[in-house]
A and B are shown apart, each in its own frame.
Chain A
Amino acid sequence: KAGVTQTPRYLIKTRGQQVTLSCSPISGHRSVSWYQQTPGQGLQFLFEYFSETQRNKGNFPGRFSGRQFSNSRSEMNVSTLELGDSALYLCASSSTGDRSNEQFFGPGTRLTVL
């Protein structure tokens, strides 16, 4: 079974631009969560999608948004990029979103904002 995939793996953008990151969960998984990892703030939860609906949202500004498609693939978008948005963005999928199921993480997308 293929693992969680994230594209692109690396991205360089300039301030003010927008970016879209993609996450393909493990086949059959319906829940996708996104996390931001930075040296200063650590790992922070962005949002979770389950069956195309946002189920949970972290404390991030409205510039951060996401969506999930009918095949469970998810995208997150960051508009008007700031230097502080430079981070590793991780997504994780789980089979039903149920509390007892393990989350499988992707390799991450490294975003650099110049």
Chain B
Amino acid sequence: AQTVTQSQPEMSVQEAETVTLSCTYDTSESDYYLFWYKQPPSRQMILVIRQEAYKQQNATENRFSVNFQKAAKSFSLKISDSQLGDAAMYFCAYRERTSGSRLTFGEGTQLTVNP
């Protein structure tokens, strides 16, 4: 079974600085998707960034970028120029290409942004 591990239950960063959240996963599949979702106190899950395993280029969305290391099964999220609105729980998630829409989530990392 696929598993997703986030080893940092909590992280903090100063406003305007950069922070990196870690995620590792275990799978025997070669074709899959990886995601980072953000869940603010409102509990609304919001997709931050997505990576397709067959693409070697790391995904980037404005201030958010990933470091995807397929061989190491590592998928970290870098947030640059952190803003107060980035404070939230961040979840790493995995999805196989052939499993429909089923997502496997990590435990989450609570990010605090200090002014």
Residues in A23-53 with C-beta less than 8 Å from chain B = 31, 33, 35, 42-45, 48, 50
B contact face: mostly helix, strand, loop, or mixed:
loop
Q: Which of under 10, 10 to 19, 20 to 34, or 35 or more describes the interface residues of A?
A: 20 to 34
Contact partner of A105 (CB less than 8 A), chosen from B33, B45, B102, B108, is: B45
Known: A31-B100, A97-B100, A99-B97. A42 touches B105 (CB 8 A): yes
Count contacts on B: residues with CB < 8 A to the other chain: 25
Whether the pair B103, A105 counts as a contact (CB closer than 8 A) is no
Q: Does B78 contact A (CB under 8 A)?
A: no
Are A102 and B97 neighbours in the complex by a CB distance under 8 Å? no
Interface string of A39-71 (1 = CB under 8 A from B): 000111100101000011010000000000000
Chain B hits for A97, CB < 8 A = 100-101
Contact string against A for B residues 92-109, beta-carbon threshold 8 Å, 1 for contact and 0 otherwise: 000111111111111110
Q: Select from chain A the residue with minimum beta-carbon distance to B95.
A: A99
Q: Which residues of the partner chain B approach A101 to less than 8 Å between Cβ atoms? A: 101
Q: From A32, which residue of chain B is reached at the shortest CB distance?
A: B101
Partner among B45, B46, B52 whose Cβ is within 8 Å of the Cβ of A90 = B45
Question: With a CB–CB cut-off of 8 A, which chain B residues contact A94?
Answer: 101
Determine whether A103 belongs to the interface, using a CB cutoff of 8 Å to chain B: yes
Contact A42 B102 (CB under 8 A): no
Which residue of the partner chain, among A33, A44, A88, A104, contacts B43 with CB atoms under 8 Å? A88
Kindly supply a per-residue 1/0 record for chain B positions 79-115, scoring 1 wherever the CB is within 8 Å of any chain A CB and 0 otherwise.
0000000000001000111111111111110000000
Q: Are A43 and B98 within 8 A (Cβ)?
A: no
**Complexed CA–CA distance, A44 and B104 (Å):** 7
The answer to whether A102 touches B103, judged by C-beta atoms less than 8 angstroms apart, is no
B103 is contacted by which of A33, A50, A104, A107 (Cβ under 8 Å)?
A33
Nearest A-chain residue to B91, judged by Cβ: A43
Which chain A residues have a beta carbon within 8 Å of chain B's beta carbons? 31, 33, 35, 42-45, 48, 50, 55-56, 58, 88, 90, 92, 94, 97, 99-105, 107-108
Pick 6 A–B contacts, CB within 8 A, sort by A.
A48-B100, A56-B101, A97-B100, A99-B99, A101-B101, A107-B42
